[in-house]
Amino acid sequence: MYKNNIEGIDMSHRDPQHKQTYTPRSSSFEEHIYKTMLSFGIEQFAYYVENRRNASAQPVIFSNYPKKWLSVYREKRLHSRDPVIRYAYNSVIPFSWSDAINHEITHQERLFLDQSSTLFHHNGYTFTLNDAKGNIALLSVSNPSGKKRFNQIVEKHKSTLQMSLIELHHDYLINFSKRPRTMIKNSELTDREKDILSWSCKGKTYAEISIIIGITERTVKFHMLNIVKKLKVTNTKEAIFRANKLNLV
């Protein structure tokens, strides 16, 4: 994750129109997004992808939000209580978070806002994109330091930010979502790894999988590390997402 600290950086020499091409070799995808947002003078971002055709799948999130918050957000599946996400389902144009918050929200969404208010001022914008594969991709930008010109920055670059989302999602699909099975031909999953991955996709914990399969929890973790390496992802969540996409289990 990257810290939200761009104080003192002169942004005048950066050109928001200049697209920085992402390749897995040159930098991490998250760093690529960070640098893109930095070119606009935006401190905080979240790129979110959810497949609307698979309600059980965990959304993919690249963000420089606080690590602890992201961990809780993923673990508790808080996207299901996030009014910004629900509002985005029905929006095809960029919107301010105030639009979502002032819209009709549920009791659970109100609790979510109360919980997150200590971390966020709820001052942000979200850009939306729906693709042909049933994915909804969102680019959310926020203003944690309370910059007075934040709204002006977003309004000024709104069309360019929307195009940035399109380009980022294109890069994501090419480098993460659309890799064919042949790309892991030389590192096929073993039967044991497939078994563990299958149970993981069903929401089982390492401890539960160890009991089901009859091996130690440490061995389950060892196999999962190999799975993550073979699928060229960074964690178990992404491995599950990739496995579902490639129909590996």
The letter for the amino acid at 32 is H
Q: Do domains 29-177 and 181-246 have the same CATH topology?
A: no
- Of 57 and 43, more confident: 43
Residue 164: other Cβ atoms inside 10 A: 23
Average pLDDT over residues 45-67: 87
What CATH class is the domain 181-246?
A: mainly alpha
pLDDT tens for 114-143 read: 888 766 667 899 999 999 888 999 999 998
- What's the CATH code, domain 29-177? 3.30.450.80
pLDDT tens for 4-46 read: 332 322 323 334 443 443 333 324 788 889 999 999 999 899 9
Strands 135-142, 124-130: pairing is antiparallel
pLDDT of residue 247: 67
- Of 174 and 20, more confident: 174
Residue ranges per domain, the chain? 29-177, 181-246
pLDDT of residue 245: 66
**Above 60 in pLDDT, residue 221?**
yes
State if pTM tops 0.85. no
Q: Indicate the pLDDT class of residue 186, thresholds 50, 70 and 90.
A: very low
Residue 64: other Cβ atoms inside 10 A: 19
Average pLDDT along the chain? 81
Question: What is the DSSP track for the chain?
Answer: ---S--TT---TT--TT------TTTS-HHHHHHHHHHTTT--EEEEEEEETT-TTSPPEEEE-S-HHHHHHHHHTTGGGG-HHHHHHHT-SS-EEHHHHHTS---HHHHHHHHHHTTT--S-EEEEEEE-TTSEEEEEEEE-TT--TTHHHHHHHTHHHHHHHHHHHHHHHIIIII---GGGGGGGPPPHHHHHHHHHHHTT--HHHHHHHHTS-HHHHHHHHHHHHHHTT-SSHHHHHHHHHHHT--
| Intra-chain end-to-end CA distance of the chain, in Å | 30
pLDDT of residue 179: 47
